[in-house]
Amino acid sequence: MREKHFWAWPIASYLFLGGLGGGMTILATVFDLFFNKGDVFALALLVAAACVGLGCFFLIFELGRPLQFWRVFSAQKAILTFGAWMLLILIGVNAVNFSFFTGWFPWSGMAGLQQVVAGIDLVLATGVVLYTGIMLSSLKARPFWNTPALPVLFTVSGLSTGAAADSLLAGIWPFAGTAEEVASVHEALHTLDIVLVVFELIVILLYVIMMYTSSNPTAKRAASRWLSGSFSASFWGGLVFVGLVLPLGLYALGGAAAGLLAPVLAIIGGIFLRFLVVYSDDRRLFTGEECYWERLPKGDEAFMEAWE
Amino acid sequence: MTRYAMVMDTRRCIGCHSCTVACRTWNELPTDMIYNPVLTDGPVGVYPNVHMNHMPLICMHCDNPACVGACPTGASQQDADGIVWVEDAKCIGCKACIQSCPYNARHMNHELGVAAKCNFCKDRVREGKEPHCVKTCHQRARIFGDLDDPNSDVSRLVNSLATVRLLEELDTDPQVYYIIGLGGQG
């Protein structure tokens, strides 16, 4: 029988968590390196590492032979191997970066060293965010993924969900500064998230329209599923309305409750995006192929096994 | 040098699925795995000029295989004679190769948790025998041989007849050549 989706929800969850953790780390380290606000985002670094770690767990869980996962580090040139190394190192560097802010370790006061670690962290997180999109877009067999626009979309989504999560975590332990400082960071992050969500809205609409008008019938078929087919409720309702338009409205409304709800919705939008994309793994079918797989007998598996 | 390749003479294929069965039997495949389906287009045309086109599929053993580049463990590999195969012991079942193959030539073996594919019956081929699907094809629609040997059947067919390759535009350089008959399909 033909399998519908070789990669399913674990991969979608991983892509979401990888983008989220990477985006959180990028913004936290940017605020640290360029605006000297590292302490406000200390917890965000740890949560980002946990997100990436959970994503790696999903990746391993999805394997045919999970206990052999370490072999993924053994190839020389595969994108997946490169990505696996970056994920692993990012988790470690994030934890080290976090340790500077706790005051528990002998190196906690060394600000210069911390800045170096933050710089490395920024580079790695950028790599992770780019890689999640590049991994899918490198697959020539899947026309809906095989476009340079996919890494752009995933990067924007990673940054916008990262900004949302960072704003939820900013100023919590181990931060010990003033409430005014946290408020100013919140304002900056909300402004940034508004810009990123608007940009993501533009990119996602362009992406789907581009695919819908594509000369490739497979890509067109997947896009029409998003626009008016079986994915349209998730796309228009989940991703566009709940994940993008509603957060913009809430940000515009302002207030404390909106400041909490809008980032949560933006993060949910990120989940919808990854699931929609991962389940759009259409391959170009040969003439008569669909019919072939449909004609195969179904429901005889138990009999066949008993026969053997 | 040796470069194994296959020619599919779709003019001769009658869509009997013998190759599918022979392959599954020889490779002892689980019930949900088929390495070489035979697709059927049609009947097309207007009576009495009606015909069906059959297109046998198989791993294309590409010269530029997308699957080998996608493999993060080195389990997917290509030998010097062009045969692309998976080393079970190294495969972790990440399915990256399956996603990268435009020909649906790779399948998940759920019993072993590894990716599996046609390997041109490489153990038989290296003993000088034909792959099982070729040996069983009573219409001689599947022709197998060394493309680099100017006297081989595949070499003579590929160099004398117009053949097409599937999804050639994806730059995978597939090494299965189709002779297209009446009506044709590509």
Any chain B CB within 8 A of the CB of A253? Answer: no
Identify the pLDDT of residue B67: 95
Length of chain B in residues, anyone? 186
d(CA A17, CA B59): 35
On whether any CB of chain B is under 8 Å from the CB of A141, the answer is yes
Cβ <8 Å between A75 and B74? yes
% residues pLDDT > 90 (chain B): 83
**What pLDDT, on the 0 to 100 scale, is given for residue A269?**
96
Token digits of residue A3 = 């399998």
Q: Enter the ipTM.
A: 0.88
> Which element (helix H / strand E) includes B107?
strand B106-109
**Cα B11 to Cα B147: distance, rounded to the nearest angstrom:** 21
d(CA B184, CA B13): 12
Q: Do B55 and A3 touch (CB under 8 A)?
A: no
C-alpha–C-alpha distance, residues B173 and B182, integer Å: 25
Comparing CB atoms, the residue among A3, A63, A284 nearest residue B93 is: A63
pLDDT interval class at B174 (50, 70, 90): very high
Rounded alpha-carbon distances, angstroms, from residue A302 to A141, A294, A305, A306, B6: 33, 19, 5, 6, 35
**What is the tens place of the pLDDT at every residue in B114-141?**
999 999 999 999 999 999 999 999 999 9
Q: Which of B92, B96, B99 lies at the smallest CB-CB distance from A68?
A: B92
- Does A64 contact B71 at a Cβ distance shorter than 8 Å? no
**Side chain identity at residue B43, one-letter code:** P
**Amino acid identity, position A67:** L
For residues A292-305, one letter each, b for 16 or more C-beta atoms within 10 angstroms of the residue's C-beta and e for the rest, the string is bbeeeeeeeeeeee
Give the model's confidence band at A177: pLDDT under 50 very low, under 70 low, under 90 confident, else very high.
confident
At B184 the pLDDT is 43
pLDDT at A2: 58
Whether residues B113 and A65 touch (CB distance < 8 A) is answered with: yes
What's the Rg (C-alpha) of chain A? 21
pLDDT tops 50 at residue A192: yes
Using a pLDDT cut of 90, give the percent of chain A over it: 74
pLDDT band at B186 (very low <50, low <70, confident <90, very high): very low
Q: Radius of gyration of chain B from Cα atoms?
A: 16
Identity of the residue in A141, A293, A305 whose CB atom sits nearest the CB atom of B101: A141
Distance CA A92, CA A109 (A): 19
- Residue A308 pLDDT level (bands cut at 50, 70, 90): low
The pLDDT of A195-218, averaged and rounded, is 95
Short-list A44, A37, A140, A134, CA closest to A95: A44
* Beta-carbon separation of B32 and A63 below 8 A: no
Please, which pLDDT band fits residue B182 given cuts at 50, 70 and 90?
Answer: low
Nearest in space to B57 (alpha carbons), one of B147, B168, B176, B145: B176
Identify whether the C-beta of residue B41 lies closer than 8 Å to the C-beta of residue A288. yes
Which pLDDT belongs to residue A69?
92
Question: Which pLDDT score is estimated for A104?
Answer: 85
Would you call B43 helix, strand, or coil by DSSP? Answer: strand
Size of interface A-B (CB pairs under 8 A): 126
With contacts defined as CB-CB under 8 Å, which chain A residues touch B173?
A: none
The tens digit of pLDDT for each residue in B70-109 reads 999 999 999 999 999 999 999 999 999 999 999 999 999 9
Shortest Cα distance, chain B CAs vs residue A18, angstroms:
17
Q: Which residues contact A55 (CB under 8 A, 6 or more apart)?
A: A13, A14, A15, A16, A17, A18, A21, A87
Q: Which long-range contacts (CB under 8 A, 24 or more apart) does A286-291 make?
A: A286/B39, A286/B55, A286/B57, A286/B166, A287/B39, A287/B41, A287/B53, A287/B55, A287/B185, A288/B39, A288/B40, A288/B41, A288/B42, A288/B53, A288/B55, A288/B185, A289/B37, A289/B39, A289/B104, A291/B39, A291/B40
Which of B25, B29, B38, B73 to mutate to test binding with chain A, by most A CBs within 10 Å of its CB? B73
pLDDT tens column, A76-121: 788 999 999 999 999 999 999 999 998 888 888 788 899 999 999 9
Tell if the CB–CB gap between A141 and B41 is shorter than 8 Å.
Answer: no
**For A301, nearest residue in chain B (alpha carbons):** B31
Taking residues A155-175, what's their average pLDDT? 92
pLDDT digits (tens, 9 = 90+) for A44-62: 999 999 999 999 999 999 9
Q: Could you give the count of Cα atoms lying within 13 Å of A287 in the half-sphere of its Cβ? A: 14
Task: Please give the residue of chain B at the shortest CA–CA distance from A303.
Answer: B31
Other CB atoms within a 10 A radius of the CB of residue B156 amount to: 15
